[in-house]
């Protein structure tokens, strides 16, 4: 299978990976054929693209770092907890927290058992599910980064919990501010920034979590150069959990569609994180991020500078921007060739110039 951006999806293309909507409802099954109506509907929901099956990609199987069932369970639990009514119910909070702790523990076990050094980021996102999906995706990214940073399994479990709840305080921010399509006023920005403190209050008081988790939630908008909030902490004054979440939070947010902006390509988020090393983000964590998170996930279709298209087949952790691709002519598709952009001496001048 391969991932094709929504603007390049055509009627009669075959869906290779099922699409689920709100509350885990199946919207489009694997094997379904696209129609103009379906393409239009998914575009309006903010999906950036779809996995499709064709002759060029039928043997390509992108491996997700977390099983779909775990991700769906975590999203359902996020929906259960992330509401004003739920936030006020301590008994329900305790039950849901126990359940999400179990799911996050399973995720950590799954990641630690995997021998994959490179993580493919999830590409199927919609702004309709942003709040819940963002919490789950940031938790997954943090779990992968925690493992890559050689943290203990118990620390990574706590990191996953911190990441999962880092934005729960946004549920107490007025929606008019949270979803405002334009720039926030100074007064609105002050209100928005309170979400970190609201998240801290929730994990500390409602859930009774340890300082390690509470401080990570509170400080995830601190920046390495001291320009963040709420305390303008610098460097290693910032708790390590917050240093990791800061990167995962920004990277996932940039790749997610919102009501007020389109999603950006993973490469744009990847390069922003790298460029911000030592400024907004910890150089040590950025270095680990750069070797762990793939800017071109396996299965994505890219445009090459030589005029060919290519399906990413494998990533190289030491040269993430130059994967192995299966290249083909987009106008007259037929034969294909493999080009290893990281070590083929005949491909030194070939670069990836876009995503199809």
Q: What is the mean pLDDT of residues 276-291?
A: 97
Pairwise CA distance, residues 255 & 5, whole Å = 13
Tell whether 136 is covered by a domain: yes
Given a cut of 80, whether residue 80 has pLDDT beyond it is no
My answer on whether 189 and 275 are in the same domain is yes
My answer on whether 147 and 193 are in the same domain is yes
Percent of the chain topping pLDDT 90: 56
Lowest mean pLDDT among 36-45, 118-127, 179-188: 118-127
Q: How much is the pLDDT for 64?
A: 78
Q: How much is the pLDDT for 247?
A: 98
Q: How much is the pLDDT for 23?
A: 61
Tell whether 63 is covered by a domain: no
Answering whether pTM is above 0.85, one says yes
Looking up residue 15, the CATH number of its domain turns out to be 3.90.105.10
Q: 103-112 in b/e burial notation, b at 16+ Cβ within 10 A?
A: bbbbbbeebe
My answer on whether 252 and 123 are in the same domain is yes
Comparing 283 with 41, the larger pLDDT belongs to 283
Q: How much is the pLDDT for 245?
A: 98
Q: At what angle do helices 240-254 and 283-292 cross, to 10 degrees?
A: 50
Given a cut of 60, whether residue 126 has pLDDT beyond it is no
Pairwise CA distance, residues 203 & 214, whole Å = 6
My answer on whether 17 and 116 are in the same domain is no
My answer on whether 195 and 317 are in the same domain is no
Given a cut of 80, whether residue 121 has pLDDT beyond it is no
Pairwise CA distance, residues 186 & 192, whole Å = 10
Q: How much is the pLDDT for 151?
A: 97
Indicate the SS3 state at residue 11.
Answer: coil
Given a cut of 70, whether residue 88 has pLDDT beyond it is no
Q: How much is the pLDDT for 261?
A: 62
Q: What is the mean pLDDT of residues 82-110?
A: 79
My answer on whether 253 and 309 are in the same domain is no
My answer on whether 246 and 210 are in the same domain is yes
State the burial class of residue 332 (Cβ atoms within 10 Å of its Cβ: 0-12, 13-18, 19+): exposed
205-259 per-position pLDDT tens digit:
878 888 999 999 999 999 999 999 999 999 999 999 999 999 999 999 888 766 5
Pairwise CA distance, residues 141 & 120, whole Å = 10
Indicate the SS3 state at residue 264.
Answer: coil
Cis peptide leading into residue 230 (ω within 30°): yes
22-52 per-position pLDDT tens digit:
666 778 899 999 999 999 988 887 788 889 9
CA distances from 93 to 99, 163, 165 (A): 10, 17, 12
Comparing 66 with 262, the larger pLDDT belongs to 66
Tell whether 59 is covered by a domain: no
Tell whether 39 is covered by a domain: yes
- Residue 125's pLDDT band (cuts 50, 70, 90): low
Q: How much is the pLDDT for 144?
A: 95
As given in the structure block, the two tokens for residue 4 are 């094709």
My answer on whether 232 and 307 are in the same domain is no
My answer on whether 238 and 161 are in the same domain is yes
Lowest mean pLDDT among 91-105, 251-265, 318-332: 251-265
308-317 per-position pLDDT tens digit:
999 999 998 8
- Per the structure, the count of domains in the chain is 3
pLDDT averaged over every residue in the chain? 88
Looking up residue 141, the CATH number of its domain turns out to be 1.10.3210.10
Given a cut of 60, whether residue 85 has pLDDT beyond it is no
Tell whether 35 is covered by a domain: yes
Q: Tell me the residue range of the domain where 310 lies.
A: 301-355
- Residue 281's pLDDT band (cuts 50, 70, 90): very high
Pairwise CA distance, residues 28 & 81, whole Å = 27
Given a cut of 70, whether residue 295 has pLDDT beyond it is yes
Q: How much is the pLDDT for 303?
A: 94
Last residue of a domain, one of 247, 278, 294: 294
Pairwise CA distance, residues 154 & 49, whole Å = 36
133-158 per-position pLDDT tens digit:
889 999 999 999 999 999 999 999 99
My answer on whether 259 and 324 are in the same domain is no
My answer on whether 217 and 107 are in the same domain is yes
My answer on whether 97 and 152 are in the same domain is yes
As given in the structure block, the two tokens for residue 336 are 């294909």
Among 75-84, 122-131, 347-356, which range has the highest average pLDDT?
A: 347-356
């Amino acid at each position: 299978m391969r991932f094709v951006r929504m603007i390049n999806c055509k009627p009669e293309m075959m869906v290779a990976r099922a699409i689920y909507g709100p509350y885990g409802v199946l919207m489009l099954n694997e094997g379904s054929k696209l129609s103009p109506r379906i393409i239009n509907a998914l575009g309006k929901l903010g999906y950036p693209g779809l996995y499709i099956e064709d002759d060029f990609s039928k043997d390509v199987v992108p491996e997700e770092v977390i099983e779909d069932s775990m991700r769906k369970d975590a999203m359902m639990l996020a929906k259960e907890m992330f509401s004003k009514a739920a936030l006020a119910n301590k008994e329900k909070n305790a039950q849901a927290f126990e359940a999400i702790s179990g799911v996050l523990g399973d995720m950590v076990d799954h990641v630690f058992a995997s021998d994959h050094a490179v993580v493919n980021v999830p590409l199927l996102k919609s702004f309709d599910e942003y709040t819940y999906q963002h919490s789950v995706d940031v938790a997954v990214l943090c779990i992968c980064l925690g493992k890559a940073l050689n943290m203990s399994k118990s620390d990574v479990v706590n990191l996953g919990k911190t990441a999962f709840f880092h934005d729960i305080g946004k549920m107490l921010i007025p929606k008019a501010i949270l979803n405002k399509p334009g720039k926030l006023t100074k007064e609105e920005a002050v209100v928005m920034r309170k979400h970190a403190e609201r998240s801290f209050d929730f994990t500390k008081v409602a859930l009774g979590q340890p300082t390690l988790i509470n401080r990570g939630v509170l400080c995830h908008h601190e920046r390495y150069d001291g320009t963040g909030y709420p305390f303008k902490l610098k460097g290693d004054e910032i708790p390590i959990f917050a240093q990791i979440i800061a990167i995962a939070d920004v990277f996932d947010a940039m790749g997610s569609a919102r009501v007020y902006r389109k999603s950006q390509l993973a490469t744009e988020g990847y390069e922003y994180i790298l460029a911000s090393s030592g400024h907004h983000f910890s150089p040590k964590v950025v270095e680990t991020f750069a070797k762990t998170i793939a800017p071109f996930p396996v299965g994505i279709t890219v445009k090459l500078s030589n005029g060919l298209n290519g399906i990413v087949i494998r990533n190289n952790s030491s040269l993430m921007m130059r994967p192995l691709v299966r290249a083909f002519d987009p106008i007259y598709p037929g034969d294909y060739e493999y080009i290893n952009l990281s070590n083929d001496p005949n491909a030194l001048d070939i670069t990836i110039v876009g995503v199809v």
